[in-house]
Amino acid sequence: MKIPRVWDKRNLVLLTELTKTDFKLRYQGSVLGYLWALLRPLLMFAILYIVFAKLLQFGNDIPHYPVYLLTGTVLWSFFTECSQQGIQAMVGRGDLIRKISFPKYIVTVSTTLTAVINLLINLVVIVIFALINGVAPSFSWLLVLPLIFELYLLALGISFLLGSINVKYRDIGSIWDVLIQALFYAVPIIYPIAMVAETSTWAAKVILLNPIAQVIQDVRWSLITPATVTTSGFVGVWAELVAMGIVLGTFVIGALVFRKRSRFFAEEI
């Protein structure tokens, strides 16, 4: 039996063109254009920094806290954009799906890759900001890209899973928007995890089992300061493996559900 090829030259060309088109359309008609890829997370960071660092005095005991907060904000913005756009990808490309026969996963992947482009732009800003803030470069910076890939894999798995269901039940996208707001406060972006540990060690351990929290804390450890509380350091290496297992499981389940439902997309959109 001949095994179908997942990737070939035509699929790669289509993926590239859809990614370029989606990136251009995302900022078409706006005065600042591509600058919004930088301004969105930076404006969010500025608001959080003024409110929580200056007014509420969060992070006084954390070295380079402004970079610490910016890193968490950028990674959270990436996960949010990647998952939200990925969930809506199939519905947004409904006309294309009805007219042309091609592997449907390309639509979701191309949409999420736009978020990856935005993240790479913001990573340059983080590095510059870190150097200005006195963070010394080290070989641990090389760990950042694999960690980002882990976060992307989680967002892509969610996009496959919920995006395939959203084709038929359009409420899924709205429900995820609400859940993502609640999830923001369950991840140590603003507050240091040590603050939670002072009140409840159990709660801190549960938070660090969240793959998003695990990635953000590990990136902070690799990029900014080894004083950062990480999942493996606070809970144990087994917890790091659990978080990675959740990511892999989410991606596999999402891909399988997407593959099963993709044959009905043209009828349901």
pLDDT tens-place string over residues 63-101: 888 888 889 989 999 999 999 999 998 888 777 787 777
Question: Among residues of the chain, what percentage have pLDDT more than 70?
Answer: 88
Among residues of the chain, what percentage have pLDDT more than 90? 37
**pLDDT tens-place string over residues 122-153:** 888 888 888 988 888 889 899 999 999 999 99
Full-prediction pTM beyond 0.85? yes
Pick from 99-103, 104-108, 235-239: least confident: 99-103
pLDDT in the model for residue 2: 41
Average pLDDT, the chain: 85
pLDDT at 66 (0 to 100): 84
238 pLDDT band (50/70/90 cuts)? very high
**Higher-pLDDT residue of 192, 161:** 161
HEC readout, the chain: CCCCCCCCHHHHHHHHHHHHHHHHHHCCCCCCHHHHHHHHHHHHHHHHHHHHHHHCCCCCCCCCHHHHHHHHHHHHHHHHHHHHHHHHHHHHCHHHHHHCCCCCHHHHHHHHHHHHHHHHHHHHHHHHHHHHCCCCCCHHHHHHHHHHHHHHHHHHHHHHHHHHHHCCCCHHHHHHHHHHHHHHCCCCCCCCHHHHHHHCHHHHHHHHCCHHHHHHHHHHHHHCCCCCCCHHHHCCHHHHHHHHHHHHHHHHHHHHHHHHHHHHHHHHC
Tens of pLDDT, residues 185-228: 889 888 888 888 888 899 999 999 999 999 999 999 999 888 88
